Amino acid sequence: MIRPTMKHQVIRSIGIFLAFSQGLFLPFSVHAADMTTGAVIVTSIPSDPSDLSATGVSAAGINLSWTDNSLNEDGFSIERKTGSSGTYAEIATTTANVASFPDSGLSAGTVYFYKVHAFNGNGFSGYSNEASASTFAAGGGGGGGGGGGGGGASSFPTGVVFRGIAYPKSSVTLLKDARVAAITKAGPDAQFEIRVSDLSPGTYNFGVWAEDANGNRSLTQVFTITLAMGATTMVSGIFIAPTISVDKIETRRGDPLTIIGFTAPNAEVSVSINSDSDILKKIVSDVVGAWVYKFDTNEVDYGDHTTHALAKYEEDISINSKVLAFKVGTKNVFVEPQKKCPARGDFNNDCRINLIDLSILAYWYKRLNPAPVYDLNGDGRITLIDFSILAFNWTG
Amino acid sequence: MALSPINTSGAASPFGTPTVKLHLGRLVETDGYFAARITIDTGKESVNAVELRLGFSKNDFRIVSIQDGNSIINGWVDRPTIDESAGTVSFSGIVPGGFSGADGLVATLLVEPRAAGTMPPLQMTGGMAFRNDGLGTPLAVSFDVEPWLVSEIPTSSNRLLTAEDRRPPEEFMPEIVRDRALFDGRAALVFMTEDKQTGIERYDVLEVPAGLRHGDVSGWHEAESPYLLLDQALRSDIYVRAVDYAGNFRIVSVPAPSAPRLIFDSNANTAVALGAFLILLGGITLWLIRRYLRVRS
């Protein structure tokens, strides 16, 4: 479906939105692994302005100037507060490619603080540095020279922003080409945002995963994105898959199997039991995102089954969680207390699966008689299958 | 006239559907070279490991290089290799977290035709892909290639497909690892980076012994990760140079973890400081001896 608008056109394809800004062609593409239900929006917001400076020029005026780092802004929004304890409010907007603003009508001898951000039809950039200046004293000369802290590159930076929902107060990790690029913490509402800037234009594999309050990790959601030079690409609408765990490997038929996990707060969780006929149960997570479902094992026959979950939060639907296997039999076999470190592949026991573990596996690749610990699928040799298992468990 | 891709080998795996499609695109001439893209279409699957082996007619063209710029592959298990005498190319690699999409660039072949005309298609002699499911479930692989037509052999002697690549490889940070799983616990270096244009051609490593500087030694040698360090005492500064196919490079360094840097640094100022320190030490020693002798007498 193609829905042209005045500013840009949005193309929806297999649950993925791509946006192309008019005037500046942004040839990005995105693919998300396991994206069966989730809708991710990819847009291009302006790059952050930088080098904001403020200079008092009279008893009632302060001049602002900044560096325009964006090729695709519609304008800039200027915010001001009075004194360091004041509250910022927008005082003006400019049109595109404007990098200065004379603020007037101010009180004499007063310190004002400013920050600026760019906007377009897709949203706002991040803020510039903060700058402050003082107007001249009434009847006096001289005046407060301002100045901005920080500052950015004068060229047009290339960057990417990821926004979405994880679990309340969870740790969210962003991988860039398999290495950790940033870690952030989701808010109490499970919302997160991660920015990476000063990248080279080109194609990247970005991966996002989260860790819940019990130390369980989500699946990694991967986005293959081609970043255009001088533009900040925004990937929003990410909904991290719920975490999931079960209390028993084998459950005596008739006893309940407890399935638990985390997702967004007050989200609708659909728990699937995959048996001869699939069973779907719906529950709601609590305010901290925790969900629990006690499955009545009388509903399935003796034998091996699997379970997984997905969540719906407002209009967003997550991708599927990991798939867990369990057995309905004649006795209860509880899951061993969870190990803090990840699953198979953490060869150096640092609780991460990354380049070091890949190097260790590569060292044993094609060698005779590798130790069983490196033979992840237990077939007696190190093959590409073992690397596939390592890649699935990768944490960066 | 539209040319249809040639399916040079059907599903290469006996594991049935779904099939992962590997595709070799048409030859595109750029600055005297011809390039063809190998792409992957995973259908609805998420794939995290791929292997491909191709055979080609060495009489009709030469494969100059296999470039991984902008590849979806983030870790090579077997780096792309050309065996000119056997007429084969091969590689295998992984995508941590998996890739799902219809046009994922795996690698780019740089080709030098020996004569104009229609090139015989490359044949897949082996191909594997594995589902990103934590089990390494194999998926069937098919391979097709678009016809390669060369109307004229370029006469340009200055063949520079890489002329537009002026950016060095991406930033990276090698790590020193001492783990019993690697080289029997000896110190090793692990490293990996990407280049967003032409791709990484090779890595070089230089170990600079204590007391010398980067420019004082010329011992760069090509290396692969994991790399067994020569200086197991870890008193050398280590430099890793990632070089792309256009010759751009990035050098990163790992300071010697256990070097007594003040004493052994050959910097001129440090040498002066060291000399002054030794003179002072000698003076104090002399003074203590004289004082001892005086007290004794």
Question: Looking at chain B from residue 214 to 253, which residues have their Cβ under 8 Å from any Cβ of chain A?
Answer: 225-226
Chain B residues 182-201 within an 8 A CB cutoff of chain A: 182-183, 188, 190-192, 194, 196-197
Tokens 């790992």, located at residue: B254
> In angstroms, what is the C-alpha Rg of chain B?
27
3-state DSSP assignment of residue A126: coil
Per-residue pLDDT of chain B (297 residues; tens, 9 = 90+): 444 556 655 444 444 556 899 999 999 887 667 899 999 999 999 999 999 999 998 888 999 999 999 999 999 999 999 999 999 999 999 999 999 999 999 999 999 888 888 988 899 999 999 999 999 999 999 999 999 998 887 665 444 455 577 889 999 999 999 998 899 999 999 999 999 988 999 999 999 887 777 666 778 999 999 999 999 999 999 999 999 988 899 999 998 887 544 333 334 445 555 677 788 888 888 888 888 888 877
Cβ contact A202–B196 (<8 Å)? yes
ipTM of the complex, rounded to two decimals: 0.77
Point out the residue among A33, A35, A360 whose CB comes nearest to the CB of B97: A33
CB-based contact (8 Å) between A244 and chain B?
no
Phi, psi of B214 (to 5 degrees): -50, -45
Residue B106, both tokens = 């795996």
pLDDT of A164 higher than 70? yes
B149 in contact with A, Cβ within 8 Å: no
Of residues B249, B200, B174, B205, the one with CA closest to residue B73:
B200
Report the alpha-carbon angle B174-B179-B181, nearest 5. 110
Give the predicted TM-score (pTM) of the model: 0.72
pLDDT at residue A28 in the model = 36
Q: Do B134 and A34 touch (CB under 8 A)?
A: no
- 8 A C-beta contact, residue A114 and residue A80: yes
Please give the DSSP secondary-structure letter assigned to residue B283: H
| Radius of gyration of chain A from its Cα atoms, rounded to whole angstroms | 26
Taking each helix axis from N to C terminus, what angle separates A384-392 and A355-364, rounded to the nearest 10 degrees?
Answer: 170
B69/A202 Cβ within 8 A = yes
In chain B, which residues have their Cβ closer than 8 Å to the Cβ of A394?
Answer: 96-97
> What is the C-alpha separation between A24 and B178, in angstroms, rounded?
49
With 60 as the cut, is the pLDDT of residue A83 above it?
Answer: yes
pLDDT, position A265: 97
DSSP A213-229: TTSPBPPPEEEEEEEPT
SS3 B161: helix
Any chain A CB within 8 A of the CB of B166? no
B77:A31 CB<8 A: no
For residue B121 the two structure tokens come to: 């298609």
B31: left (phi over 0), alpha (psi -120 to 50) or beta: left
The top-scoring range by mean pLDDT among A119-123, A285-289, B210-214 is: A285-289
Measure B203 CA to nearest chain A CA, in Å.
Answer: 15
CA distance B210 to chain A (A): 26
3-state SS class at A145: strand
Taking Cα atoms as reference points, which of A182, A202, A221 lies closest to residue A35?
A221
Residue with tokens 């007429």: B87
Pairing of strands B19-24, B138-145: parallel
Alpha carbons B55 and B48: distance in angstroms, whole number: 24
Report how far residue A238's alpha carbon sits from residue A234's, in angstroms, rounded to the nearest whole number: 11
Nearest residue on chain B to A223, alpha-carbon basis: B99
**Nearest-CA distance from B77 to chain A in Å?**
7
- Distance from the Cα of A95 to chain B's closest Cα (Å) equals 33
pLDDT digits (tens, 9 = 90+) for A23-53: 222 333 344 434 344 567 777 888 889 899 9
